[in-house]
């Protein structure tokens, strides 16, 4: 059983080690922090922490560093997340608020989150399994070229440009627009994909071949909104912290390139749209990421929930990084809800 003072000693060891990357000794703790006890007492506390496998000595007669178990206890005991500065909050609102569609929103999100935390940032696309078609638009680019645009109620936009033979005029484009929106407007994506296959039946047989071309493009747009995928930024940050990884960094870089692996890790973290959860060190061993920590939270897009987070070495500033993940997730939920 770790005492209250022991927990406080663990807390300062984590903070000091994250800040300096140097093992932390009892004299350093007494000099830098106001415990009101002797270095010998702090050494006794540290010995108990070491017995509990919460800290370890990387070298003989050195200071101590947190273990994965120590980081886990530290995160579990973390009552207050370090608040973001006013400048950071403004940066989130300004940087994300200027996005034009979902793709740009998520691209900006990972870049911003990577800059705020100096870690690898990850954002999962919503699968839109419950998303509905808000509107379908057709733009005539020329007599034989048409752009199809599918917009969901979650703000997701998919578009295709296709060559059509024979040509198409504005009158027929208006008819096509009206019938498509009457057919799939407000329908879930899975249902819309099925309904679109009946679209050629709504037109004169002379137009069937042309409508089938358009239908194929629309079905592709519906399908594009549904598979799981990730956006990532900041992989170069791992290189900047290479000393935090024993041995070769290549296995970590290789693992994070596997989207299926990261999506599976995200799904097992059970994060929701309120909490920030952490998966630390050896807890990630089955994913090939035993020397990393992952912080994640959920965000909502329409009726869907997806995840975002950061990945980095176990020696990271958990309080600040968790606050950044939470703040960005909340802002993203509000932004996509407005869409």
Give tens-digit pLDDT for 220-273. Answer: 877 765 556 889 999 999 988 888 888 778 888 888 888 888 888 888 887 665
pTM over 0.95: no
Is the CB of residue 281 less than 8 Å from the CB of residue 293?
yes
Judgement on whether residues 19 and 168 belong to the same structural domain of the protein: no
Last residue of a domain, one of 167, 200, 224: 224
Rounded to the nearest 10°, the torsion over CA 182, 185, 189, 191 is: -40
Is the CB of residue 215 less than 8 Å from the CB of residue 197?
yes
Cis peptide before 205 (omega within 30 of 0): no
Judgement on whether residues 239 and 324 belong to the same structural domain of the protein: yes
Element (H, E) at 311: strand 304-313
Element (H, E) at 66: strand 65-66
311-338 b/e (C-beta count within 10 Å ≥ 16 → b): bbbbbbbbbbbbbbbbbbbbbbbebbee
DSSP state of 80: S
Q: How far apart are CA 125 and CA 47, in angstroms?
A: 46
Q: How far apart are CA 302 and CA 215, in angstroms?
A: 25
Judgement on whether residues 160 and 71 belong to the same structural domain of the protein: no
Look at residue 333 and tell me if it is in a domain.
yes
Last residue of a domain, one of 173, 201, 224: 224
Judgement on whether residues 241 and 325 belong to the same structural domain of the protein: yes
Q: How far apart are CA 221 and CA 189, in angstroms?
A: 10
Look at residue 81 and tell me if it is in a domain.
no
Judgement on whether residues 240 and 305 belong to the same structural domain of the protein: yes
If one counts the domains in the chain, the total is: 3
Residue 297 Cα distances to 79, 84, 124, 128, angstroms: 17, 16, 11, 18
Q: Where are the alpha helices (DSSP H) in the chain?
A: 4-20, 26-32, 39-51, 68-76, 86-97, 102-117, 170-184, 189-196, 208-224, 236-240, 250-256, 259-268, 318-338
Judgement on whether residues 242 and 102 belong to the same structural domain of the protein: yes
Judgement on whether residues 215 and 286 belong to the same structural domain of the protein: no
Judgement on whether residues 58 and 16 belong to the same structural domain of the protein: yes
Other beta carbons within 10 Å of 67: 20
Judgement on whether residues 147 and 104 belong to the same structural domain of the protein: no
Answer whether residue 166 shows pLDDT above 80.
no
pLDDT tens digits along 175-227:
999 999 999 999 988 788 889 989 999 998 888 888 888 888 888 877 765 55
157 vs 54 pLDDT, higher one: 54
Look up the domain containing 72 and give its range.
4-76
Confidence of residue 339 (pLDDT cuts 50, 70, 90): very low
- For residue 234, give the CATH number of its domain: 3.30.450.40
């Amino acid at each position: 059983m770790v005492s209250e003072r022991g927990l406080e000693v663990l807390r300062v060891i984590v903070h000091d080690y994250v800040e300096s990357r140097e093992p932390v000794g009892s004299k350093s703790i007494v000099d830098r922090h106001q415990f009101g006890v002797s270095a010998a007492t702090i050494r006794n506390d540290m010995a108990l922490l070491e017995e509990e496998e919460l800290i370890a000595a990387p070298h003989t007669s050195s200071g101590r560093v947190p273990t994965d178990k120590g980081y886990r206890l530290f995160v579990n005991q973390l009552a207050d997340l370090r608040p973001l500065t006013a400048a950071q909050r403004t940066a989130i609102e300004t940087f994300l608020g200027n996005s034009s569609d979902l793709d740009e929103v998520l691209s900006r999100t990972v870049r911003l989150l990577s800059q705020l935390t100096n870690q690898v940032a990850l954002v999962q696309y919503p699968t839109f399994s419950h998303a509905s078609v808000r509107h379908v638009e057709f733009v005539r680019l020329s007599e034989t070229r048409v752009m199809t645009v599918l917009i969901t109620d979650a703000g997701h936009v998919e578009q295709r440009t296709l060559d059509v033979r024979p040509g198409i005029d504005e009158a027929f484009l208006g008819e096509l627009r009206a019938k498509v929106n009457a057919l799939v407007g407000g329908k879930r994506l899975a249902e819309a994909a099925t309904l679109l296959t009946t679209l050629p039946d709504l037109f004169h047989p002379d137009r069937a071949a042309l409508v089938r071309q358009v239908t194929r493009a629309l079905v592709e747009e519906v399908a594009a909104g549904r598979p799981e995928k990730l956006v990532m930024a900041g992989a170069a940050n791992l290189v900047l912290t290479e000393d935090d990884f024993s041995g070769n960094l290549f296995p970590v870089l290789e693992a994070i390139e596997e989207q299926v692996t990261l999506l599976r890790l995200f799904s097992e973290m059970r994060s929701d749209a309120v909490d920030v959860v952490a998966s630390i060190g050896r807890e990630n061993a089955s994913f090939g990421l035993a020397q990393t920590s992952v912080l994640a939270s959920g965000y909502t897009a329409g009726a869907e929930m997806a995840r975002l987070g950061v990945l980095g070495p176990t020696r990271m500033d958990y309080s600040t990084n968790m606050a950044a993940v939470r703040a960005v997730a909340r802002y993203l939920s509000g932004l996509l809800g407005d869409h």
